[in-house]
C-alpha cells in the first residue's frame, strides 16, 4: 500500500450541488487521485505487454456518505488517499473525506488495466497484462472480497437474498433511455466516463419518482461490466426499489439498447429528510 497523502479543499460551486457536496464531483476527483497515485506507485507508462496503450478502468466503486448533505459553501474539507495493488493489474484505492467536525464520506475504488483490440471500438476492450509492473501485491481482505462478490452476484442476477435484506422489492418501472453526449459523458480516452453512470441513475430516479425533498445519499455501489461507443444509447431499468417517507433505495441495471448487454449495476440508498 502506498503512503497516504492528503489535500485540502474549499467547497465552491464545482464541489457543490443542490443537495450538498456533489457526488459526481467527488467521484471525478477521487478517480483522478486514484489514477495519479497509480502512475506514481507503479512507475508505469501504461503500455501493456501486448505493446498497446492501456487504461486503468474502474470495475467497482463503493461510497459511504456520512454527511455530504451538510457541506455548505466555503466549508473546508480534506481527502486522504491510499492505494494498494491487489492483483497482477488490479488496484484499489481508499479515500477518506473529512472536515473539522468529522467524516463526510468514505470511498473505495477498484480498477484493472484494459486495452482496445480495435482502435476506437469500446466493444473490443480486453484485459491488459503487465508482467513487469512494479509493486508488491497486498493480501486479499474481507472488504475486497465483499465488493467482488457483490459485483458478481448483481451481474449474474444472483443477489436476491441481499436485495431482500435491503428491503427492495420488484418494481414495474418504465425503462429510461439516454443518448450520452460526447462533450459531457465521455472522457479523453473516448470511453463512457465512469462518473457519468452515477449521473444517469440520478436522472432516471428523478424522472421516475420526482422526489422534491432531495433525499440525502447514504450509500452507492457501482459495478461496471462494459462500455459503449459514441452514438450508442443506454437503457436504465429499476429492477427493484423501495420508496417511502423515510428512505429511497433501488437496484438499477444499465444496458446497451443496441444488443441488450448489461454494462453496469448500481445500488443506491438515500435517506429522506423530514420538513
C-alpha pair distances (Å), 27 with each of 14, 63, 109: 13, 9, 9
Cell numbers standing for residue 105? 464520506
Which residue numbers in the chain have pLDDT < 50? none
* Predicted local confidence at residue 233, as pLDDT: 98
The three-state secondary structure class of 161 is helix
Which residues, 6+ apart, have CB-to-CB distance to 100 below 8 Å?
76
Strands 216-224 vs 262-271: parallel, antiparallel or unpaired: antiparallel
* Predicted local confidence at residue 274, as pLDDT: 65
* Predicted local confidence at residue 275, as pLDDT: 54
What is residue 122's DSSP assignment? Answer: G
The three-state secondary structure class of 23 is helix
What is residue 53's DSSP assignment? Answer: B
User: CA-CA distance, 205 to 169, in Å (whole number)?
Assistant: 16
User: CA-CA distance, 72 to 10, in Å (whole number)?
Assistant: 10
What is residue 69's DSSP assignment? Answer: G
Q: Using DSSP, how many helices (H) and how many strands (E) does the chain show?
A: 4, 14
Cell numbers standing for residue 184? 459531457
The three-state secondary structure class of 163 is helix
User: CA-CA distance, 41 to 19, in Å (whole number)?
Assistant: 35
Domains and CATH numbers, the chain: 1-139 (3.10.129.10), 145-275 (3.10.129.10)
CB-based contact 81:94 (threshold 8 Å): yes
Strands 216-224 vs 55-65: parallel, antiparallel or unpaired: antiparallel
| Kind plus residue range of the DSSP H or E element containing 144 | helix 142-155
User: CA-CA distance, 134 to 41, in Å (whole number)?
Assistant: 8
Q: Write out pLDDT tens, residues 26-78.
A: 999 999 999 999 888 777 678 888 788 889 999 999 999 999 999 999 999 99
pTM, whole model, 2 decimals? 0.94
Amino acid at each position: 500500500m502506498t503512503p497516504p497523502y492528503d489535500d485540502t479543499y474549499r467547497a465552491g460551486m464545482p464541489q457543490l450541488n443542490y443537495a450538498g457536496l456533489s457526488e459526481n464531483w467527488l467521484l471525478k476527483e477521487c478517480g483522478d487521485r486514484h489514477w495519479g497515485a497509480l502512475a506514481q506507485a507503479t512507475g508505469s507508462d501504461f503500455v501493456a505487454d501486448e505493446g498497446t496503450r492501456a487504461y486503468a478502468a474502474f470495475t467497482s466503486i463503493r461510497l459511504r456518505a456520512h454527511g455530504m448533505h451538510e457541506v455548505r459553501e466555503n466549508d473546508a474539507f480534506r481527502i486522504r488517499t491510499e492505494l494498494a495493488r491487489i492483483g497482477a493489474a488490479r488496484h484499489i484505492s481508499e479515500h477518506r473525506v473529512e472536515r473539522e467536525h468529522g467524516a463526510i464520506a468514505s470511498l473505495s475504488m477498484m480498477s484493472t488495466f484494459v486495452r482496445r483490440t480495435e482502435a476506437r471500438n469500446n466493444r473490443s476492450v480486453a484485459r491488459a497484462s503487465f508482467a513487469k509492473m512494479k509493486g508488491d501485491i497486498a493480501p486479499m481482505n474481507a472488504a475486497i472480497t465483499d465488493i467482488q462478490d457483490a459485483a458478481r452476484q448483481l451481474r449474474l442476477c444472483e443477489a436476491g437474498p441481499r436485495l431482500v435484506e435491503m428491503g427492495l422489492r420488484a418494481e414495474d418501472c418504465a425503462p429510461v433511455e439516454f443518448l450520452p453526449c460526447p462533450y459531457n459523458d465521455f472522457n479523453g480516452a473516448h470511453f463512457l466516463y465512469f462518473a457519468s453512470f452515477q449521473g444517469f441513475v440520478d436522472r432516471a430516479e428523478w424522472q421516475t419518482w420526482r422526489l422534491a425533498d432531495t433525499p440525502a445519499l447514504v450509500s452507492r455501489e457501482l459495478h461496471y461490466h462494459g462500455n459503449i461507443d459514441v452514438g450508442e444509447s443506454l437503457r436504465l431499468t429499476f429492477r427493484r426499489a423501495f420508496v417511502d417517507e423515510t428512505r429511497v433505495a433501488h437496484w438499477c441495471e444499465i444496458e446497451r439498447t443496441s444488443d441488450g448487454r448489461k454494462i453496469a449495476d448500481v445500488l443506491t440508498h438515500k435517506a429522506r429528510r423530514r420538513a
